Chains A and B, each alone.
Chain A
């Protein structure tokens, strides 16, 4: 079965600082990988998805970027954080066979 690892669990960063969140996958090869953000009291917003190494699709234009340097590694980055970047960031991967996503445990980011 697939396991999604995310870290850190919580992060407090000042406005204008850089960001790097990492997600790694265990148990599956060549998964589709996703970054979602969930703002307080709101739904899941798809930020980026990747179907393979170096392949990134952006769903929402913003100051965030994503990279997939290895098959089982997905990274979310920002050069300068905004207050509006605060939220709960979730990495997800497909389990294959149309069985939905497996989510990582998430990173709660607070930009101050």
Chain B
């Protein structure tokens, strides 16, 4: 069973702090990883994707991928109350499932003013 594991939270951080969200995956063949943000009652929106080992930065967001350890993480610097949402990590299937994303259940983040 190909799975993505996330701590469901809730994760609570004060405004201005760094929020760290983690995700582990079961299949070493995974190549592409994605982070989505989902506000309550809304659909997910893509915020980051990463394919290579190491860090990828986009504004206040940094995605980190470690294929040897099979984990991917998302750091949010200078967290704002507007960052309060559920964050979903996903990886792309391959072979016959190429293009299909497998999602974790999400981590709920709460940023306190």
Contacts and interface: CB of A to CB of B under 8 A. Distances in A.
B46 A101 contact: yes
Interface in B68-106: 88, 90, 92, 99-106
A100 B43 contact: no
Contacts of B45: 103
Interface residues of B, number: 22
A101 B49 contact: no
A43 to B, nearest CB: 4
Contacts of A105: 42-43
Nearest to B100: A49
A98 B103 contact: no
B43 A103 contact: yes
A99 B46 contact: yes
A105 B36 CA distance: 14
Contacts of A32: 99
A105 B43 CA distance: 5
A32 B96 CA distance: 13
A98 B32 contact: yes
Most chain B CB neighbours (cut-off 10 Å) among A34, A51, A101, A102 = A101
A44 B103 CA distance: 6
A99 B35 CA distance: 11
A52 interface: no
Nearest to B101: A101
Given A49-B99, A100-B34, A100-B36, 4 more contacts: A32-B99, A46-B101, A99-B49, A100-B49
Interface of B: 32, 34, 36, 41-46, 49, 51, 88, 90, 92, 99-106
The 4 closest A-B pairs by CB, nearest first: A43-B105, A103-B43, A44-B103, A100-B34
